[in-house]
Amino acid sequence: MAKERGAMTLLHICGNNTAVLDLMADTGAQILELDYKVDMKVAKARVGERVCLMGNLNPSALLLQGTVEEVEQAAAQVISNAGPRGLILGSGCEVPMYAPQENLLAMIRVARNSRS
């Protein structure tokens, strides 16, 4: 019903869902938000032409506890693995409340710079 009203549909299931990526894509969700435990390169190869992928930076070890440089490196790697098309770079799950703003801005900066 949401899709018929123009809303984008997103599916997120925590954990390593590699074994069920095809089933997730079959749900009709337009976006699959993938946990950091899923290899983005594998996900892109399996279902990335059928749905938009989102994620998959480690929310705790990276966005909450990592450095700006670590976030930049990991974000660039996700983009490299999935390619800039059909990808929404983001956290692999919910962003921790106390994640440093600098880390989130670094993630955004890398995503924006990848469009060039």
Which mean pLDDT values do the consecutive 10-residue runs of the chain (116 residues) have? 82 96 96 96 95 96 98 97 91 95 98 84
Residue closest to 18 by CA, chosen among 40, 1, 49, 3: 40
33 bridge partner residues: 12, 54
- Positive or negative, the Cα torsion across 115, 32, 42, 44? negative
Please give the pLDDT value at position 48: 87
pLDDT on residue 3: 72
pLDDT of residue 80: 95
Domain tally, the chain: 1
**Can you tell me the distance from the alpha carbon of 36 to that of 31, in angstroms, rounded to the nearest whole number?**
15
Specify the pTM: 0.91
- Contact between residue 92 and residue 78 where contact means Cβ atoms under 8 Å apart: no
pLDDT computed for residue 83 by the predictor: 84
DSSP letter, residue 27: T
Give exposure, 31-42, as e/b (b: 16+ Cβ within 10 Å).
bbbbbbebebee
Range of the domain at 101: 3-114
The pLDDT, as a whole number, for residue 41 is 96
